Amino acid sequence: MAFATRITATRGVLLRLREQFEFIKKGLEILKMKRDNLAGELNKYLREVRIREEIEKRFAEAYEKLISLYSLRGYSSVHSESLSVEEINITLLPITVMGVEIPRIKIEKKPSTEFIGSSLEYEVAKKLSSCVEDLLKLTIIEVSIERLAQELMMTNRKVNALEKIIVPSYSQLISYIEGRLEEESLEEFIRTRHIRDVLRRRRE
């Protein structure tokens, strides 16, 4: 409470502190709401990230088939067929969730495998194409988790600072000034009463 001794205990100061305190408490409630909403969004993405194991398994299987295809047909043949597959075309569409920019992917054009002549190569290309789309989805999920987690930690630190430091400090300071004002009011009452008694005795 050393800081309190540097503050003039007046009703004007008390009024300003009470207004600031109300503003801080409202800000704290808003931050708590933001924290809860961020936690909810983060939990949603954490549930979605469970697809990682399945995607990695499918990608590994597709990659093994690609290796086998290279061994069977040769690199030149497989590469020649791959040239008929158009590249995937995507657009990033960022959205904002509780002040956090979360990326979204819109697939404008999927890789076309319909012009691949060989059935073996068509099957491998189809599997790899599907894996690429899922990997993009997984990447977006993981980026979203990272950004939401960072914002959640920052928000939580602000909430803790307000709850454990700022709010108690303001509460103690307001109580201190209220106490000082009450003491001064009591002292003034006693002083006024003493003067009145002295004046009354002089008139008698």
Instruction: Establish if 204 belongs to a structural domain.
Output: no
Instruction: Establish if 150 belongs to a structural domain.
Output: yes
Q: How many domains does the chain have?
A: 1
* Residues pairing with 97 in the sheet: 100
Instruction: Establish if 141 belongs to a structural domain.
Output: yes
The residue type of 20 is Q
Instruction: Establish if 7 belongs to a structural domain.
Output: no
Instruction: Establish if 76 belongs to a structural domain.
Output: yes
- Segments in 114-164 forming alpha helices (H): 119-161
Instruction: Establish if 100 belongs to a structural domain.
Output: yes
Helix (H) or strand (E) holding 102: strand 100-102
Instruction: Establish if 30 belongs to a structural domain.
Output: yes
Whole-number pLDDT of residue 164? 93
Whole-number pLDDT of residue 77? 75
CATH code, 33: 1.10.287.3240
pTM summary value: 0.72
Whole-number pLDDT of residue 6? 64
User: How is residue 62 written in tokens?
Assistant: 């597709």
Decide: helix, strand or coil at residue 10. Answer: coil
Instruction: Establish if 5 belongs to a structural domain.
Output: no
Residue that is written with structure tokens 């001064």 in the block: 184
Q: Tell me which residue range forms the domain holding 42.
A: 12-198
Per-residue buried b or exposed e for 168-194, using 16+ beta carbons within 10 Å of the residue's own CB: eebeebbebbeebeeeeeeeeeeeeee
Per-residue pLDDT of the chain (204 residues; tens, 9 = 90+): 445 556 777 888 889 999 999 999 999 999 999 999 999 999 998 888 888 888 888 888 888 888 887 887 787 777 776 766 777 788 888 888 888 898 888 888 777 766 666 677 777 777 888 888 888 888 899 999 999 999 999 999 999 999 999 999 999 999 999 888 888 888 777 777 767 766 677 766
